[in-house]
Amino acid sequence: MGNKKIIITIDGWSSCGKSTLAKELASALTYLYIDSGAMYRAITLYFLRNHVNWSKDKAVKEALKDIELDYAFNESSQQNEILLNGENVEYVIRDMVVAEKVSEIAAIKEVREFAVEQQRKLGKKKGIVMDGRDIGTVVFPRADLKIFMTADIAVRVERRFKELYAKNPNITIEEVKNNVEMRDYIDSHREISPLKKAADAVVLDNSNMTKDEQLRFAIDLAQKKLGVPA
Ligand code: DC
């Protein structure tokens, strides 16, 4: 697709399939994929494990000094996986205990500044697809292509339930629904960088779309930005 490299942002509601699309799009373009939510989840895991009192600014600042986030490429999953102080936490950060607290922690100013700084560094070379909540609005407001994903709440809950049920058959659909709704509410109502569509983002409602259709839609948009003839 030529030498031009762009920044692509994918924001949207919880459990919309942002990371699935972002991963596939990055792979089709041979771009780097970064899951910004994984950073907030890894920070949350650290706070929980170390009993950090996140209602206190000082405790948060001190804790962030001890956190180092990195990515390592996993040959078998063909993905960059997140490392928290050298430990691969890509899978534990998906647990419900982390999901229950992550929105609260992601709303803290110092936590956001810490994560955004790292996200911007990763985008320096372009050739990146990053997904999250504020990537097109705050992290890369001048990104070349911005996609905003949405889907019916019932569809999103069903998708997340299937994913979590595979790991924990005791989980109920109500628990998942409550968590998705709570995260949507906190993410879109917080004071700093709330989830919202960037004015120049393209909306992708995937309630009734297959994964292939979504990928085609995103590749077409990227090719237009890259000047590739249809
Ligand atoms: O995408 P995810 O569900 O893994 O994100 C986990 C939480 O992190 C989500 O509830 C909101 C927060 N988040 C955020 O505030 N900003 C981002 N750029 C990405 C995620």
What pLDDT score was predicted for residue 2?
62
Say whether pLDDT at 21 is over 90. yes
Count Cβ atoms within 10 A of the Cβ of residue 2 and give its class: 0-12 exposed, 13-18 middle, 19 or more buried. Answer: exposed
For ligand 1, what atom is nearest to the CA of residue 41?
Answer: 6
Kindly state the percentage of the chain with pLDDT values over 70: 99
- The answer to the question of residue 137 being in a domain is yes
- The answer to the question of residue 228 being in a domain is no
Cα–ligand 1 centroid distance for 45 (angstroms) = 13
Q: At 189, is the pLDDT very low, low, confident or very high (cuts 50, 70, 90)?
A: very high
Tokens of 39: 């950073």
Measured by CA distance, the residue closest to atom 13 of ligand 1 is 37
Mutate-to-test residue for ligand 1 from 16, 133, 159, 190, highest number of ligand atoms within 8 A of CB: 133
Mean pLDDT of 5-17: 96
Strands (E), 89-139: 128-132
Structural domain tally of the chain?
A: 1
Question: Checking phi first, is residue 147 left (phi over 0); if not, alpha (psi -120 to 50) or beta?
Answer: beta
CA atoms lying within 13 Å on the CB side of residue 42:
26
Mutate-to-test residue for ligand 1 from 130, 138, 148, 187, highest number of ligand atoms within 8 A of CB: 187
Measured by CA distance, the residue closest to atom 4 of ligand 1 is 37
Q: Cα separation of 36 and 82, whole Å?
A: 10
Measured by CA distance, the residue closest to atom 10 of ligand 1 is 103
Q: Which range of residues forms the domain containing residue 12?
A: 7-222
Say whether pLDDT at 81 is over 80. yes
Measured by CA distance, the residue closest to atom 3 of ligand 1 is 14
Query: Over the stretch 83-107, which tens digit does the pLDDT of each residue have?
Result: 999 999 999 999 989 999 999 999 9
Q: At 198, is the pLDDT very low, low, confident or very high (cuts 50, 70, 90)?
A: very high
Measured by CA distance, the residue closest to atom 5 of ligand 1 is 37
CATH number at residue 103: 3.40.50.300
- The answer to the question of residue 99 being in a domain is yes
Query: Over the stretch 139-176, which tens digit does the pLDDT of each residue have?
Result: 999 999 999 999 999 999 999 999 889 989 999 999 99
Listed residue (133, 136, 118, 127) closest to 187, CA to CA: 133
For ligand 1, what atom is nearest to the CA of residue 18?
Answer: 1
What pLDDT score was predicted for residue 130?
98
Tokens of 175: 């628990």
Query: Over the stretch 35-70, which tens digit does the pLDDT of each residue have?
Result: 999 999 999 999 999 999 999 999 999 999 999 999
- The answer to the question of residue 98 being in a domain is yes
What pLDDT score was predicted for residue 1?
53
Cα–ligand 1 centroid distance for 58 (angstroms) = 23
**Measuring from each residue's beta carbon to the nearest atom of ligand 1, which residues come in under 6 Å?**
14, 36-37, 40-41, 102-103, 106, 132-135, 183, 187
What pLDDT score was predicted for residue 79?
85
- The answer to the question of residue 230 being in a domain is no
- The answer to the question of residue 229 being in a domain is no
What pLDDT score was predicted for residue 126?
93
- The answer to the question of residue 175 being in a domain is yes
How confident is the prediction for the chain on average, in pLDDT? 95
Say whether pLDDT at 3 is over 80. no
- The answer to the question of residue 17 being in a domain is yes
Residue 2 or residue 63, greater confidence: 63
Kindly state the percentage of the chain with pLDDT values over 90: 90
